[in-house]
Amino acid sequence: MKKQIISISILQSSKILTALYFLLGCIYILIGIPMIVFGNQQIKIIGIIYLFMPIIMAVFGFVFFAIFAAVYNLLAKSLGGFEVEVKDMQPQHNPMAQ
């Protein structure tokens, strides 16, 4: 059965993407700390910037996905939305869920 996404919630979708980008940006903290501890002055400055990457990525992720969702909603009205094919699944019995 085919389904079509005709609209994306701008605020809710952007909040989810913001959280995901923030978590992804936390990887930069792991890179920035050794740069601050072991680097020379220039490397330490870059390391400090890396410490702020989760916030920077979250802000840019929110802004750009909000723009994407708004443009998608406009285009989906005239061109149609993403099409996905789905099927109904039978619930599987999980013996551990008792």
Predicted pLDDT of residue 82 = 85
Predicted pLDDT of residue 2 = 87
Q: Is residue 88 part of a domain?
A: no
The answer to whether residues 47 and 39 touch, using CB atoms and an 8 Å cutoff, is yes
Q: Is residue 90 part of a domain?
A: no
Q: Is residue 84 part of a domain?
A: no
The residues facing 14 across adjacent strands are none
Q: Is residue 86 part of a domain?
A: no
pTM: 0.75
Q: Is residue 25 part of a domain?
A: yes
The C-alpha atoms of residue 36 and residue 24 are separated, in whole angstroms, by: 20
Residue 90 three-state SS: coil
Per residue in 22-67, pLDDT (tens digit) is: 999 999 999 999 999 999 999 999 999 999 999 999 999 999 999 9
Q: Which domain holds residue 22?
A: 11-77
Work out how many domains the chain is built from and give that number: 1
Q: Is residue 19 part of a domain?
A: yes
Q: Is residue 60 part of a domain?
A: yes
